Amino acid sequence: MTIPPMKIGSIIRKRRHKANMTIQDLANKIDWDTGNISRVEKDKQRIANDKIGLIAEALGCQPYQLFLDPDIEALKNDIAVTKNNNVNQSYKLIPLLDSDDILNAIASGVFSMETIDKSKVKAYRPCFEVCSEKTFAHTVQGDSMQGHRLGLADGMEAFVDPEAKPKHKDVVLAYVGERLELGEFHVHGDKIKLIPTNNRFDAFDIRVNQIIGVVIGAYISANR
């Protein structure tokens, strides 16, 4: 598996400079050609997963940090909170899907990660290791969830697990009409409601098959 270029090259170059290393120094440490490293740093060449670990070790950082600008604060300030208010120290990368990615998948049938064209995924985000293999990140739009303990403000990225089964008051991402909405999952008798925490917004009556996934955490950039 390879991870698509996502400005990782400029981050590697910046971390290499901070470590006072030349391209040749890095090449010697990871047993790789200087030409490959140069192309990677210019985002002209993809990196296989096994090389990411070697590069991170050579630069004195963790693999996930190659996807984070070294000038921002530590990852603990980027990972906000999880459903259980507990973040593991181990991370993996999950795809960041925009509304078009998800809506196009829905238009082709029932949403699933198998219907997402991975070659068109524009970016990845670090997520705690315990998330499922199908978890993805999605940018929050609007302030319907303002005040929720996960801090799901406009522009944040929510971690959505399509395999999790929603329980009462879980935050879910659902398909409503022709748009995506976040809200708390409430069951009232035989009716399911999607309820925003911001009381300026209306609740929606939905069906189970409109739920895309359960929000299990959130990512906040320290630059926000």
Which one is predicted more confidently, 10 or 211? 211
Q: Span 178-207, mean pLDDT?
A: 87
Evaluate whether 150 touches 81 at the Cβ level (below 8 Å).
yes
Q: What is the pLDDT of residue 125?
A: 75
Architecture in CATH for domain 75-219: Ribbon (2.10)
- Asked if pLDDT for residue 1 goes beyond 50, the answer is no
Q: Where are the domains of the chain?
A: 2-67, 75-219
pLDDT-derived band of residue 129, with 50, 70 and 90 as boundaries? low
Over 80: is that where the pLDDT of 67 sits?
no
The CATH number that domain 2-67 falls under is 1.10.260.40
CA 43 to chain centre: 20
The region, left, alpha or beta by phi > 0 then psi within -120 to 50, assigned to residue 182 is: beta
Give the separation between CA 103 and CA 108, rounded to whole angstroms. 9
For 172, counting Cβ atoms within 10 Å of its Cβ (0-12 exposed, 13-18 middle, 19+ buried), the class is buried
Residue 60 phi, psi (nearest 5) = 75, 35
Give tens-digit pLDDT for 71-120. Answer: 543 434 444 434 444 444 456 778 888 888 788 777 766 667 776 766 67
